[in-house]
Amino acid sequence: MATITALYVYPVKGCAGIKVDKAAVQATGFALDRNWMVVLEDNGKFRTQRQLPKLALVQTSLPEAALLGAPSEDAALTLTAPGMSALQVPLTPPTGLPPRLIDCTCWEWSGKACDEGEVPAEWFTQYLGKPCRLVRFAGKPKPPGAASKADVDATRRLTEEEFAPSHEVAFPDGFPFLIASEESLEDLNKRLKQPLKMNRFRPNIVVRGTGPWSEDAWASLHIGSADRGVDFDSVKPCSRCKVTTIDQETAEVGDEPLKALQAFRSGEVLEYWHQKEFTHKQHSKAVHFGWNLVPRQEGEVAVGDALQVLAARPGVGSNAAAA
């Protein structure tokens, strides 16, 4: 039986995550997952470990109730980092003060996000050594699968239409959830001189009890019991970048696992990359670990929940697991 072994929420894009026992599934991801991001002060462009590896050392903390979607009025996001005093960012703005929206970008999306003010801006500017600001996602998304371009305002962000039309996302790279398999990591580690931890891949959901790379064949899945849980569609393999080469405990940058993945997890190698969406050169050259999910409804999932595959992906051969 496939079982959920770990769940993670990453409140600030690029910073350390929080390991939780249970989490609230919302349209844009787990409650408060990637609801904040660091942007450059002069142009609003987002920054991650790709440009600033030391973001990995920023630790995040949130009250349990907030992580389950029901924060108290005095709840706050707490941030700590080497050489810095703790920073608290209230989840509820002061009464009577409307949020200050500023222009920012996250990959292809340009829109408005809530500026968290001078204190967080000064904290990140001091830590990172360049003028930055902390912004918070300001969108009010519709239920999973109900969004459309026609009703999306400047604060809301849609997923890639060719993979998941009518779904929304906060500040992850592209989709609300990322699932990864412990067996796939074990298979990858056999090909490396030094084994890597799962945190290199920053998943939201970790599963055990499947064969290596069997997640390639999942088109849809259910997490939870028959009368409780959430259905997900598995919509796109996660192409991996420099972040996977960064030690999440030290922020040191290496070469692996990208070199190892190139040998057996590139779009060119994986035979089932025949769908039109993957014929573009950027997809055939990319290397993949984990899959992006979108939810079909809101709910709650927990460590220990069973994972049931509802539908298989058509045309997926065996070479993904056998490579």
What are the structure tokens assigned to 265, written together? 């997890």
pLDDT above 60 (res 233): yes
What are the structure tokens assigned to 125, written together? 């500017």
Residue 89 in contact with residue 120, Cβ under 8 Å? yes
The fraction of the chain above a pLDDT of 70, given in percent, is 92
**For 190-230, how does the pLDDT look when each residue is reduced to its tens digit (9 = 90+)?**
999 999 999 999 999 999 999 999 999 999 999 998 788 99
**For 117-145, how does the pLDDT look when each residue is reduced to its tens digit (9 = 90+)?**
999 999 999 999 999 999 999 999 999 99
Give, as one character, the DSSP assignment of residue 144. Answer: T
**pLDDT at residue 109, as a whole number:** 97
Q: What is the mean pLDDT of the chain?
A: 92
- Mean pLDDT in residue range 217-244: 93
At a CB cut-off of 8 Å and minimum separation 6, what does 261 contact?
Answer: 188, 240, 287, 288, 289
- In one letter, which amino acid is 69? G
- In one letter, which amino acid is 133? R
How far apart, in whole angstroms, are the C-alpha atoms of residue 309 and residue 314?
Answer: 13
Per domain, the residue ranges of the chain are 2-316
What are the phi and psi torsion angles at 36 (to 5°)?
-125, 155
Domain 2-316 classified CATH 3.30.2290.10? Answer: no
How far apart, in whole angstroms, are the C-alpha atoms of residue 136 and residue 263?
Answer: 38
Residue 232 in contact with residue 177, Cβ under 8 Å? yes
Which run of H or of E encompasses 319?
A: helix 319-322
